[in-house]
Structure 1
């Protein structure tokens, strides 16, 4: 995903048979000129890289996968203070899907692939971007979040405030 931006329009690199010409190895940066799929993917790619830059995701310990549901096609894992949730179901969206978390508190949605700017449907409303845990065991953890999950989307939540009970 995103590889097409720097990929040559035609794979013919400079060599003796084309007199060492670069004319057929042009990069496809023109794909970003039009609104649509490629611009949306580029925006998502930039925001994902910014999230890693700010949160140092890849430098953290390995992810702790704690939710895998074959029927709903949802996977969730923690990496530091970040909760990653993926809904791979091609058609089913969920209103109040429960995901376990150890730390009670408020979780702020920091990345949502369903946003319009990424080419999504924009089903989540602004008031749904902050979630407070429920004191109920789920996925073997002490607390859980109820989150809306549109089909074929991913969300990243960050623990923004710890609640002591």
Structure 2
């Protein structure tokens, strides 16, 4: 999966193929255990480029302060969050992250060797960047913690299979479910989708997470804690239960199907 994410980053100005992305996320043998990741040590060693650095380039060094304004940084941070959530949500049996990449570590790792005059300078991880409330690295770390918390609450999450709900190539949308969670992604850089409908199991769904929250470096375009109710609609194939959501550009949502109250009164 890592190779495909970097393949897509080389095509930021093009529309991404959502069907191929879904294929890469879900294509695995069910009888073989597998671990999924966006990037690993290969991209973090000297000579490589991490996911976020590939998105931001030199802006990594001068535009990550909260007061900085950059559409390139906004887009890069959004993709960093979407890629990680999509990879985690579709992972076969586990999710891997290389130390520091969860908050977009700006430097590579280079161990002492003859080529760097046996220097220890880059044999480090700068954890203080993620602890600085004035930098956007903390926002990426906040999102990483939030998405892991949601998945960890699902005891059988990695034992459940993913189910594709919707692919919309024109709008760059990908929506699928796993266990009692629905994951909705809008990879479009500019186009938001209001009242977007897709088929789900009947019931109500609570918004658990959206990548657009301010604490995650977003624009807070969605109200927290919303409850969505499916509605039956007549479709070509018969009656289906449909959910309608607002899906902003460069944003991902996680909805949880609420358990119906079975108590009798």
TM-score for the superposition, normalised by structure 1? 0.82
Shift of 1:42: 0.3
Query: Which segments of 5 or more consecutive residues in structure 1 lack a partner in the other structure?
Result: none
Deviation at 1:82, TM superposition (A): 0.8
Name the structure 1 match of 2:12. Answer: none
Match of 2:148 in 1: 49
Query: Would you say the 8 A contact 1:5–1:27 is kept in 2?
Result: no
2:193 corresponding residue in structure 1: 94
Q: 2:210 aligns with which of 104, 112, 115?
A: 112
SS class of match (1:96): strand
* 1:80 has 2:179 as partner: yes
- Per-residue deviation, 1:59: 1.3
Q: Provide the rounded CA distance (Å) in 2 between the counterparts of 1:117 and 1:23.
A: 31
More displaced, 25-34 or 5-14? 5-14
Q: 1:150 deviation in Å? A: 0.6
Q: Is the partner of 1:108 in helix, strand or coil?
A: strand
CA RMSD of aligned residues (A): 2.9
Determine the structure 1 residue equivalent to 2:35. Answer: none
1:151 to 238, 242, 249: 249
Structure with more strand by fraction: 1
Any gaps of 5 or more consecutive residues in structure 2? Answer: 1-79, 81-99
Aligned with residue 233 of structure 2, among 136, 142, 146: 136
Checking the alignment, whether the CA contact within 8 Å between 1:137 and 1:144 is kept in structure 2 is no
Greater helix fraction, Structure 1 or Structure 2: 2
Aligned residue number for residue 45 of structure 2: none
Q: Taking structure 1 as reference, are residues 41 and 132 closer, same or farther at Cα in structure 2, changes over 3 Å only?
A: same
Q: More relative contact order in 1 or in 2 (CA 8 Å, sep 6+)?
A: 1
Residues 91 and 9 of structure 1, relative CA distance in 2, 3 Å threshold? closer
Q: Distance in 2 between matches of 1:20 and 1:139?
A: 68
Question: Which segment is superposed worse, 65-74 or 20-29?
Answer: 20-29
Compute the displacement of 1:21 (Å).
Answer: 5.6
For residues 64 and 117 of structure 1, the distance between their equivalents in structure 2, rounded to whole angstroms, comes to 30
TM-score normalised by the chain length of structure 2: 0.53
The answer to which of 44-53 and 140-149 deviates more is: 140-149
Match of 1:28 in 2: 126
